[in-house]
């Protein structure tokens, strides 16, 4: 359910890495509480940089980023972990601890909050059920398929009840069917009230789900559409980019 309250605000945000590399340029955007937003653009456009700014993994060069009324640019080091408890993150490369079971990986999200054993057990069971992996709780990440592993990543990200869920190419390593599963889970989580931002290249989801879509192009906000879709030009560039990359690989 989308409310009128702003959950994330970017106000004239720019980010430079070094002197010559401008990752984001003068981004101003507002994302409301409960929204589901796709972030699209070719590799290197600045999608991940934008997500990392929300997570306060990096600081903007200029401008302000406000997350749930907290100005993250002014957030002291000692409070960063509190911000990250409001913002769950799903990674393309999953970032799970391979020496811990699925249960233990997800439980981490509650243990860091100081929850009791009983609360942790209850919370983990609930999210495992939501992502359909209750039967795999004692397995290790390496014993799971890529799709299952990503579902564990989502479960860990939401187990602490964050207000925002960021997903950076969550289906980047998955086949179409598994990707559909993941997107359905993300939609379910969004339906429960969590604000979701998904950075993706997956054209079919963007076109079929008809969610708000922000296009980033060379670090600038190119479009921001209520029920957006992948434009022909964007697709052509993606196609060209992929061909270019595979051409390099073949050499």
Partner 1 sequence: MKPLRVSWTHIRRSPYQALAAVLTMFLTFLVSGAFGLTVMTSLLVLKYFESKPQATVFFKDTAEKIQADGLKTTLEATGKTASIKYVSKEDALTIYKEQNKNDPLLLEMVNADILPASLEVSATDPRFLKELESIMKEAAGVEEVIYQKDVVDTLVAWTNAVRLVGGILVVLLSLDSILIVMTIIGMKVALKKDEVEILKLIGASKWYIQLPFLLEGGLYGVLGGFMAWTVMLVLILWFRMSILSFLGIIPIIQAVLGNLLSSAFIGCTFGFLFILSALGFLLGGIGSLIALKKYIAF
| Selected range binding partner 1 among 32-40, 108-116, 204-212, 239-247, rule: CB under 8 A | 108-116
| Selected range binding partner 1 among 26-34, 96-104, 125-133, 197-205, rule: CB under 8 A | 96-104
Nearer Cβ to partner 1 (189/221): 189
Q: C-beta of 116: minimal distance to partner 1 in Å? A: 12
Q: C-beta of 88: minimal distance to partner 1 in Å? A: 8
Nearer Cβ to partner 1 (96/209): 96
* Single residue of 11, 16, 26, 104 touching partner 1 by CB under 8 A: 104
* Single residue of 5, 17, 21, 95 touching partner 1 by CB under 8 A: 95
Residue 231 near partner 1 by CB under 8 A: no
| Selected range binding partner 1 among 87-95, 173-181, 213-221, 226-234, rule: CB under 8 A | 87-95
- DSSP assignment of the chain: ---SSEEEEEEEEEEEETTTEEEEEEEEEEEETT-EEEEE-STTSSHHHHHHHHTTSS--SEEEEEETTEEGGG--GGGHHHHHHHEEEE-TT----TTS-HHHHHHHHHHTTT--HHHHHHHHHHHHHHTT-GGGTTS-GGGS-HHHHHHHHHHHHHTT--SEEEEESTTTTS-HHHHHHHHHHHHHHHHTT-EEEEE---HHHHHHH--EEEEEETTEEEEEETT----HHHHHHHHHHHHHHHHHHH-
Nearer Cβ to partner 1 (16/111): 111
Q: C-beta of 100: minimal distance to partner 1 in Å? A: 8
User: Where does this chain bind partner 1 (CB under 8 A)?
Assistant: 55, 57, 77-78, 80-85, 87-89, 95-97, 104, 108-109, 111-113, 156-157, 160
């Amino acid at each position: 359910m989308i409310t009128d309250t702003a959950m994330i605000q970017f106000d004239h945000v720019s980010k430079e890495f070094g002197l010559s590399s401008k990752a984001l340029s003068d981004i101003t955007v507002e994302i409301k509480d409960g929204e589901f937003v796709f972030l699209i653009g070719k590799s290197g456009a600045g999608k991940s940089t934008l997500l990392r700014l929300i997570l306060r993994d990096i600081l903007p060069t200029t401008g302000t980023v406000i997350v749930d009324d907290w100005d993250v640019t002014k957030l002291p080091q000692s409070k960063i972990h509190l911000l990250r408890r409001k913002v769950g993150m799903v990674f393309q490369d999953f970032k799970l601890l391979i020496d811990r079971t699925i249960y233990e990986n997800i439980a981490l999200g509650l243990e860091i909050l100081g929850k009791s054993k009983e609360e942790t057990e209850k919370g983990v069971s609930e999210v495992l059920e939501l992502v359909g992996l209750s039967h795999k709780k004692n397995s290790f990440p390496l014993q799971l398929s890529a799709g299952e592993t990503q579902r564990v990543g989502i479960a860990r990200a939401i187990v602490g009840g964050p207000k925002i869920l960021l997903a950076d190419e969550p289906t980047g390593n998955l086949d179409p069917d598994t990707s559909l599963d993941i997107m359905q889970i993300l939609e379910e989580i969004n339906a429960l009230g969590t604000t979701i931002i998904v950075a993706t290249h997956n054209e079919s989801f963007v076109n079929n789900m008809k969610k708000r879509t922000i296009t980033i192009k060379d670090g600038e906000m190119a479009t921001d559409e209520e029920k957006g879709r992948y434009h022909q030009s964007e697709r052509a560039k993606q196609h060209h980019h992929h061909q270019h990359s595979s051409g390099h690989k073949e050499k």
